[in-house]
Structure 1
Amino acid sequence: MKSHSPHNISFSLSSMQYFFLKLLFFLLINQNLYGFDKKQIIVDADHALFKNINKGNILEIYFSFDESTLNYTQIDNKWIANLIINIEIFKKRDKKIKDLDFSISHTINHIDSIQPNKFYQSAFQILINDDAVSFNANIFDKENSNNKINFKSQLNEIDLTRGNNYISDIEIAYLIKNKSQNSFKSFVKDSIEVIPNPSRNFGKDNKNLYYYLEILNLNEKALSNIGIKVFVKDFNGKKIISENYNKILNKNTNQLFGMIAVNNLINGEYILEIIFEDSMGVYMLSKQKKFNIVSDFIASTNSTKLSNIEFLKAKISIKSIEGLDEEFKIIKHFTTGREKRNYKKLISHEEKVDFLTQFWNLIDSDPSTIENENRVETMKRVGFVNKKYSVGLKKGYETDRGRVYIAHGKPDEIMQDQYDGDIRPNEIWRYHSIEGGVIFIFCDVNGSSNFRLIHSTHSNELQNYRFIERMRR
């Protein structure tokens, strides 16, 4: 018998065999090794565009990070988390014109002092040209490159059609105060410190909304007596808060800032609008920005008398018809065919509010509380998938991964495979407690980064046991 030297034996796996080996390993083990059991950065982001006096514009990008979602390294007696933020600036047709990297370090005294939902803020200023139309922010945990998140945003076009008059974007802030030696440099604007609120959420401990903006190139007559109207409107356009006052500006002071008490607003989405008029009351310029009230109360003397269904209806009714239609798009996968047909027939705002109120009320997990826990949890999941799974113009909840996450929550296990061989990038999600254990297989079948569901063992989902054919390149 011919003997073989072990050095002459070769062993190799095709990419398809490699995939099945990983899949088998994934299905056999019961340890949560992938994806959602690793820390996921929780971060809010916002931006404002200001005109640079000399040339171009200044883009300010604001971030707030949940410190409990970062990875820390002990150095001496301190614990330090390091983040890398990559900012890409684009002009029309997605042509990249800037690519910048920034580093952030966050230091705490002891790892045991970390608290969930405790945020710290940071900000960056970038000089950009007038042709910039959008930016992309990629945020990475330096200690764990898999812990990352991405934001994309359009930039407002600089409007100089009314002569050279210019009004910046509105910056929504937690607080505006006089500059001091302890002020954070990136938050300082001349003699004041503007502490941004990237989430634009208010309520509970944040009952005052601060705003900041800049106005340039008004003539001397306009500067001497400018009329300012500040409105808070709901999404139906109804004015909830209205303030009017006159202000004298000068060439050396182009800042406008103020504060509005929002503690009397119920939960929902609102619009802050600021309008500038001349001394004759003629419209000059205006800006708008959205913000949210997220506290679980209605600040009214009769609030304790509201039933849970009245409270629910009050929260839903503040939305515009477009907002109501979007909420139905989110829940339509959980509705019957008859419910879909019935909603399609509805026209008025009141009819759609009543439909959504009835839908959520029927699945209220705890009618003894004033809050509808199922709706709150669903909207939290929507916020998560919109940040993580949005692709192009498609919002996260419109994708297959987003839909499954909203329906079933965080997977118990997730396997990600970006192997660049015979198969396309894919993800396999596993839930242990559903129907005795189910999997969902998603694949980037067309290279667009929109992972489609190609197979599931869930009884109500797509079942295609020849799914591997769709995964081949």
Structure 2
Amino acid sequence: MLTLLVSASTVSAQDMPIQLDVDHASFAYDADASMVEMYMAFEARTLPFTASENGFLARLPVDVTIQRATEALLPGSPAEAVWADSLELSFIIPDTTGLQQGQQFVHQVRAAVPPGEYELQVTVPAMESRAQLMLRRDVIVPDFSDSDLVELSDITLASELRRAQNRDEAFFKNGLVVKPNANQLYGAGLSQLFFYAEAYNLDRLAAQSDEYTLLAYIAQANIPQPIEGLQRRTTRPLRSPDVLVGNFNLAMLPSGSYFLRVALLNAENESVVERSRKFFVYNPHIQQTVTRGLEADFETSQYANMPVEEVDQMMAHIQPIATESERSRMRGIEDLEERRRFLMQFWQTRDPNPNSPVNEFQDEFYQRLQYANDRYTTTFDEGWETDRGRALLKYGTPTNVEPHLFDRGYRPYEIWQYNNIPGEGQAIFIFADRDGYGFFELLHSTVSGERKLVNWQDEIRDT
């Protein structure tokens, strides 16, 4: 199940470390397990090619393991490795002189795994002058067996998607060839983003209608609104399971981080389930456009005469939801009027309905902030400044909060569970009051960039 992807920029180096990208997605399988697909993309110019009868051959041993994450949080997570395989991959090309930067061999493996929290480990053993390569990824395998809920699988980001009949063809699945893009990078040389997902238990919507709506769109990181021209709404008949595919042309997007968001809507146009995937765009010749129309009514807005104290406070409030580029810009703004204009543009960019008299996104944000202040304020910090408050502002209301305030032998702690955080999928946060004074701090999270403490349970034992 190997294929070669081509882009540009010729390189002949064969002595560099092997470059490998790893991705994964989970789908429904049976009552006891979900199907986990693992995608591995090897940079062709970093592989150890040697001359052979048919050209140049690279042999590569690869060990793949799915094992329980240390101190896994999800109930039912097995205690030991649930799946492992040792692969002997072979790659052959007619000539090495044409190897180019960006060429990749892609391999895919599948494994039936019980729902739970795991670590995916991919290892390329040491070979001759090359050191061992090991990549680890946190993996939460969802439980799709609850027939009472409409469910949506993970999303596979692909570089190619087409109809096919040959089941032996690489990446064949449900009458399609879905070639995964393991590094989630698009733009120059690969402008078309394809996606694949599956919907389950859609018959639960039958009481309302015999149809539902698939909404798919591209959004900037941390901004929920669709980018103009990159949104698709499709009415589909109810059938379960249903295969969902689509594509977007990203040729004109400036370089940066983005999200593909997919939602299933019922007859009342309400979202019943959502999933999202983060990806990256590199288009060096496309310049970021600055929208000036957003500030056209600045003089009559609430921001024009906002006192400096309120400006400072709002700039602090929005830190958790600002993009990295916005935070960088905030650090460089000193002029008061420029800061006011920045705040106006910040909220208008996120306004889901600019024609309405209120900004629903901003209202919801400040409702969460008020909730955080009401529930999490301590002697030293307002609620929104605490770890729980910051998580609430940044990621929204958790799907479920599991309090453990009086567990014997443990200090008070909470487990927050999210069904879908954009770019992360299912996620978990652990907050604990280690000192007994009501100050709950974040100990561990499965979200990228958040604190990870594999021995978090040891930290809260009441010894």
TM-score of the superposed pair, with normalisation by structure 2: 0.55
* Structure 2 CA distance for partners of 1:111 and 1:53, relative to 1, 3 Å: same
Query: Are the aligned partners of 2:158 and 2:194 in contact in 1 as well (CA < 8 Å)?
Result: yes
1:112 aligns to what SS in structure 2? coil
1:146 aligns to what SS in structure 2? coil
The structure with more radius of gyration: 1
| 1:65-84 CA-partner distances (Å, limit 9, x unpaired) | 11110112333243211222
* Structure 2 CA distance for partners of 1:250 and 1:143, relative to 1, 3 Å: farther
Is 1:80 aligned to residue 57 of structure 2?
A: yes
Q: Partners in 1 of 2:60 and 2:254 — Cα distance?
A: 36
Is 1:250 aligned to residue 239 of structure 2?
A: yes
Q: Partners in 1 of 2:215 and 2:449 — Cα distance?
A: 37
Query: Are the aligned partners of 2:164 and 2:177 in contact in 1 as well (CA < 8 Å)?
Result: yes
The equivalent residue for 1:41 is 18
The equivalent residue for 1:202 is 186
Is 1:232 aligned to residue 218 of structure 2?
A: yes
Q: Partners in 2 of 1:277 and 1:349 — Cα distance?
A: 35
Unaligned residue ranges in structure 1 (runs of 5+): 1-35, 303-318, 329-338, 354-391, 399-447, 449-473
Of the three residues 132, 151, 165, the one matched with 2:136 is 151
* Structure 2 CA distance for partners of 1:118 and 1:172, relative to 1, 3 Å: same
The equivalent residue for 2:309 is none
The equivalent residue for 2:114 is 129
* Structure 2 CA distance for partners of 1:82 and 1:295, relative to 1, 3 Å: same
The equivalent residue for 1:56 is 33
The equivalent residue for 1:174 is 159
1:111 aligns to what SS in structure 2? coil
Query: Are the aligned partners of 2:218 and 2:260 in contact in 1 as well (CA < 8 Å)?
Result: yes
Which structure dedicates a bigger proportion of its chain to helix?
A: 1
Query: Are the aligned partners of 2:115 and 2:141 in contact in 1 as well (CA < 8 Å)?
Result: no
Amino acid across the alignment from 1:41: I
Q: Partners in 2 of 1:349 and 1:170 — Cα distance?
A: 37
Q: Which moved more, 1:192-201 or 1:91-100?
A: 91-100
Q: Partners in 1 of 2:448 and 2:196 — Cα distance?
A: 31
2:179 aligns to what SS in structure 1? strand
The equivalent residue for 1:218 is 202
* Structure 2 CA distance for partners of 1:76 and 1:182, relative to 1, 3 Å: farther
Q: Percent identity?
A: 17
Query: Aligned ranges for residues 312-351 of structure 1 at < 5 Å?
Result: 321=322, 323-324=324-325, 350=342
1:239 aligns to what SS in structure 2? coil
Is 1:284 aligned to residue 261 of structure 2?
A: no
Unaligned residue ranges in structure 2 (runs of 5+): 1-12, 73-78, 291-319, 346-443, 456-463
Name the count of aligned residue pairs.
Answer: 296
Amino acid across the alignment from 1:270: Y
| 1:46-85 CA-partner distances (Å, limit 9, x unpaired) | 1111111453011111121111101123332432112222
| 1:61-111 CA-partner distances (Å, limit 9, x unpaired) | 112111110112333243211222222222352643233222211111233
Q: Partners in 1 of 2:340 and 2:89 — Cα distance?
A: 49
Q: Partners in 2 of 1:164 and 1:273 — Cα distance?
A: 20
Q: Partners in 2 of 1:97 and 1:296 — Cα distance?
A: 43
* Structure 2 CA distance for partners of 1:84 and 1:393, relative to 1, 3 Å: farther
* Structure 2 CA distance for partners of 1:128 and 1:224, relative to 1, 3 Å: same
Of the three residues 251, 259, 266, the one matched with 1:263 is 251
TM-score of the superposed pair, with normalisation by structure 1: 0.54
Q: CA RMSD in A?
A: 4.2
Q: Which moved more, 1:99-108 or 1:89-98?
A: 89-98
The equivalent residue for 2:424 is none
Instruction: Give the ranges of 4+ consecutive aligned residues of structure 1 lying more than 6 Å apart after TM superposition.
Output: 159-162, 299-302, 325-328, 346-349, 392-398
| 1:396-450 CA-partner distances (Å, limit 9, x unpaired) | 999xxxxxxxxxxxxxxxxxxxxxxxxxxxxxxxxxxxxxxxxxxxxxxxxx9xx
Amino acid across the alignment from 1:87: V
Of the three residues 257, 268, 272, the one matched with 2:260 is 272
The Cα of 1:294 is off from its aligned counterpart by: 0.7
The equivalent residue for 2:3 is none
The Cα of 1:205 is off from its aligned counterpart by: 2.4
Amino acid across the alignment from 1:198: A
* Structure 2 CA distance for partners of 1:349 and 1:64, relative to 1, 3 Å: farther
